[in-house]
Structure 1
Amino acid sequence: MPIAVKDYSWDQNEKLVYLTVPLKGVKTNKVDIFSSEEYLKVSYPPYIFECLLHQPVDDEASTAQVGNGAVVFKLKKTDSSQWPQLQSDDAGNKEVMKQKREEALEKSQTRAKEKQKAKEEKKRETEKYSINQMMQIEETDRERIEHLKQSERNKATEELEQWKNEQMKQAEQEKLRLLQEKYKEDKIHRKAKKEEHKDEEIQDDMFRSGVRQNGHIEVKFTPRVFPTPVRESTTPLEDEWLKKQAESRRVVEIEDKDLSEQEKNPVWLRDKGNSFFASGDYQSAINAYSHAIRLNPKMPALYSNRAACHLKIRNFFKAAEDSSKALELLTPAVQQNAASRCKAHVRRGTAFCELEMYVEGLMDYEAALKIDRNNEKLQQDADRIRHIIQTETTS
């Protein structure tokens, strides 16, 4: 049976009650303390201290410290009156003590449940707040990313429109140049025929008069014209393509003592770039093609091959630009440059699709299919792009 402790001490002022309970040599880790507004209990076997307070106290603002061989309670009064004694007059009544003990235990359990509930509620509120903050941050990031993507789309669209306008302008200039050349050729042809008719008239007059005269007769031949319809003949276009190819072979002379003879040869640089490309060194290949272009800016293969390198390192705007330059040089469209035109269209179409400009990309793939109609791989890629466009339209 526990031994009741009677040799405690207490003191008070207007606000606090101080109570000291000796531990009688018991270790502090074996002390069990329980308190409520009216009831105190300190259990440290074989000793026990129970106290039914004279007046209720503020249990939340009260403290208990264990140390130096004693338990010291600092109890906050609910009013400033002086207590005549520490314990209530009912402290000697076992039934009342039992009732107060049970009430104190029940209140303590209820208070513990309320604290746990409040703690859980606060935790839920904190988690809810954290989730809301994360959602706001994610929404802000999504809006920022969408804004960046839209800005890139707008920029790409503006650049494409500018490029289209430049292409149309260049096409008009090329058309005007061809018309001017044709006009000059027709004028020279008419002049030659006129002089030929004039020579024939002079010869007829000399024959009729029977006069033989010594002199030099200049004979001119008119070009032979074949009866093939113009819409079916590609000879003028092929002649123009051959003329452009001959011009493209002219190398710009660069005075640089640091360059070897090979490094001044654009064909050697093109082959060197192809070697770099095959080994996966795309930046070195770009450098080789760029140097070759500086030597000879009219070789379409240099631009087309450099576009393939830009695709590999995801410089899609550069790839589209180089492909367009290659197509510009691959004119007129003849059978001799069909394969090169097909590659340039495919590379520019691929760059457009990577930039999410699927309509423009499909136009280039369809242009490539007109050149190589039996290419199943091109047909599959074009069908895939159409499917993407249709999906975006329906969504």
Structure 2
Amino acid sequence: MPLVVKTEDFTETAERVFVSVPLNGVHSSKADIYANDSYIKINFPPFFYEADLLHQVDTEDSEAVVGDGCVKFNLRKVEAKLWGSLKPDAGELSAEEMKTRRADAFKRDHERVEKQKKEKAIKKREEHYRLIQEQLNVERAEKAKFEQARLEEQRAAEEGIQQWKDAMASKKCVEVTPMRNAESTVSSKAMSNVAKADSAIFDTDKGAKFFAALAVNAEGGISAVEEETNESNTRKASIEESIEESEDDDDIDMEAIKAKVRKEMDKLKGSKPQPRETGTINFTFTSRGLIPTSTARESEDVKWVHRINQAYEKDAKSRRDNLFDPLSVDEKNPIFLKDKGNAFFKTGNYQGAINAYTAALDLDPQFSSCLSNRAVCHLKLGAYNECIQDCTVALSVTNQEHEILSDRDPVAAMSAKTAHDAAQVKVYVRRAAALNLLGRVADAVKDYERAIALDPRNDELKEDLARLKEQ
């Protein structure tokens, strides 16, 4: 039992209360402090101090400081007035009233803590949403920046292509006529001139002059096939003039001239035009750098999810395969042994379950769940005395755990009280069943009454108790 400290230094003003409690040589790190609007407590083993305040204080504007070998409370009064004393006078409140007063104070403090948790969660969620929105805004700005850069590069590329098109169009306007077209034009006109020359030879003696002029023209003018079309027209006019002048010439070798003309014409037919000039178009691609695309991110996410699912499946399969394998039991893990015992119990292997629960209790003798579950197995196998023993130890352990939690954190103890009561109800019922089977009906009735006190709304317990009393 702890040593209760009943002395403190108390001073006050109209608005605040100052309480100083000595630690009696205990290190400040071992002091566990709790306070609500009507109650303060200090647990510093082996000492213990508590005080029910005369009036309520504002816990939001109060503080406790540990140092200099004592704990100092600086409490703000809810109502500004002098108290005269820290605690109510002895006999002013009955034990039941004091208990109710403390329970109400614990409840208010619990509600305050829950409210703060909710407000903190709401604030955290709002902050989370704000950060997400800011991140989205940053991503939108980056996206707009990249889109603007892409549009500018696209516009510059389009302007460059248009300039190249304009340059090529203007260059074509000053190009010479292709070689092949010049060949066809010259050859057709030359053949026409030859036909005219033949008719002139047979109709008149002046044709010789024409062929002489034509030969001169063929040696000089016809070979210049790369000139423009207007030069062809000029040659046509000169050939016509030479035809008129050739009417007076007589001594000309017409066959030689014709052969020479055909030779020049064959040369014209076999020649090819010069190739056009080549051009170069340069393209510039925008570099993405290290920015991944959405498709790449989705692909990587799918891969990771697949790997995680594979790991989960492998782990689950390993657990299923090794659940009933005694060689795979981790002898240093009482929780694993408890799960193994539960698996044995579900399959009807009660002795195997007892062995697993016993191994877990060897590692953790205060494991109340294993005690309660082992009691059920003893009950199934007819070992009623062992069942009663396990139930008794389980009840003692759960009560001890709840008392320790109440001393350390009364608010948490209040939250855990429902689960604690439910666990004790099960243990009381199991022990009552074993007592009844041993013929100790009176003791079984007492256990059922204790269970009903913890769970007064359970009609099944009341019916079982009624049937037990009828025996």
- Return the alpha-carbon distance in structure 2 between the equivalents of residues 181 and 111 of structure 1: 105
How many Å apart are 1:196 and its aligned residue?
4.4
Match of 1:329 among 272, 277, 291: 277
CA deviation map 1:286-333 (0-9, x unaligned): xxxxxxxxxxxxxxxxxxxxxxxxxxxxxxxxxxxxxxxxxx514xxx
Residue in structure 1 matched with residue 219 of structure 2 by the alignment: none
Contact 1:52 1:91 in 2 (8 A): no
The runs of 5 or more residues in structure 2 that have no matched partner are 183-225, 287-471
Match of 1:235 among 271, 275, 281: 271
Give the structure 2 partner of residue 15 of structure 1.
15
CA distance in 2, matches of 1:96, 1:44: 27
Tell me, yes or no, if structure 1 residue 193 matches structure 2 residue 239. yes
In the TM superposition, 1:1-395 aligns within 5 A as 1-89=1-89, 93-175=94-176, 181-187=227-233, 189-190=235-236, 193-194=239-240, 196-197=242-243, 200-204=246-250, 222=261, 224=263, 235-237=271-273, 240-241=274-275, 329-330=277-278, 348=281
Q: Structure 1 100/43 Cα, relative in aligned 2: closer, same or farther at 3 Å?
A: farther
Q: Give, in angstroms, the shift of residue 13 of structure 1.
A: 1.3
The structural deviation recorded for 1:116 is 2.3
Amino acid at match of 2:34: F
| SS of alignment partner, residue 159 of structure 1 | helix
- Partners of 1:24 and 1:103 lie apart in 2 by 31
Alignment TM-score, normalising by the size of structure 2: 0.44
**1:9–1:20 contact (8 Å) kept in structure 2:** yes
Equivalent-residue separation in structure 2 for 1:25 and 1:183 (angstroms): 123
Tell me how far 1:109 sits from its aligned partner. Answer: 2.9
User: What displacement does 1:105 show?
Assistant: 2.7
Q: Give the Cα separation in 2 of the matches to 1:53 and 1:354.
A: 79
Alpha-carbon distance in structure 1 between the residues aligned to 2:285 and 2:156: 15
**8 Å contact 1:39–1:100 — kept in the other structure?**
no
**What SS is found at the alignment partner of 2:227?**
helix
On the 8 A contact 1:15/1:80 being kept in 2, the answer is yes
Distance 2:284 2:8 in 1: 90
**Counterparts of 1:186 and 1:84 in 2: how far apart (Å)?**
133
The residue matched to 1:18 in structure 2 has which SS? strand
Q: Larger deviation: 57-66 or 157-166? A: 157-166
Kindly state the Cα deviation for residue 51 of structure 1 after the two structures are TM-superposed: 1.2
Report Cα offsets for 1:155-195 as digits up to 9, x if no partner: 22222122212211211221579899323541453355346
Cα distance in 2 for residues equivalent to 1:98 and 1:30: 27
Pairwise CA distance, 1:353? 9.9
Q: Are residues 70 and 352 of structure 1, via their aligned partners in 2, closer, same or farther at CA, if it must alter by over 3 Å?
A: closer
Distance, in Å, in 2 between the alignment partners of 1:167 and 1:181 is: 22
| Counterpart code for 1:329 | E
Write the distance in 1 (CA, Å) between the matches of 2:245 and 2:261: 14
Q: For residues 21 and 175 of structure 1, do their structure 2 counterparts lie closer, same or farther at Cα, with a shift above 3 Å needed?
A: same
Cα contact 2:54–2:88 (8 A) shared by 1: yes
* 8 Å Cα contact 2:177-2:228 kept in structure 1: no
* Alignment-mate amino acid for residue 181 of structure 1: E
- How many Å separate the matches in 1 of 2:261 and 2:245? 14
TM-score with structure 1 setting the length: 0.51
**Structure 2: which amino acid aligns with 1:235?**
S
Q: Taking every aligned residue pair, what percent have the same amino acid on both sides? A: 27
Which structure has the bigger radius of gyration? 2
Shift of 1:102: 2.5
- In the alignment, the residues of structure 2 paired with residue 26 and residue 91 of structure 1 have an alpha-carbon distance, to the nearest angstrom, of 33
Cα distance, 1:83 vs. partner? 1.2
Q: Is the 8 A contact 1:16 1:74 kept in 2?
A: yes
The structural deviation recorded for 1:78 is 1.9
Amino acid at match of 1:13: T
Name the amino acid aligned to 2:125: R
Q: CA RMSD in A?
A: 3.5
Contact 1:53–1:87 under 8 Å retained in 2: yes
Structure 1 residue 199: Cα displacement: 5.6
Structure 1: distance between partners of 2:92 and 2:35: 15
Q: For residue 47 of structure 1, report the CA deviation from its aligned partner.
A: 2.2
**Residue identity in the other structure for 1:136:** N
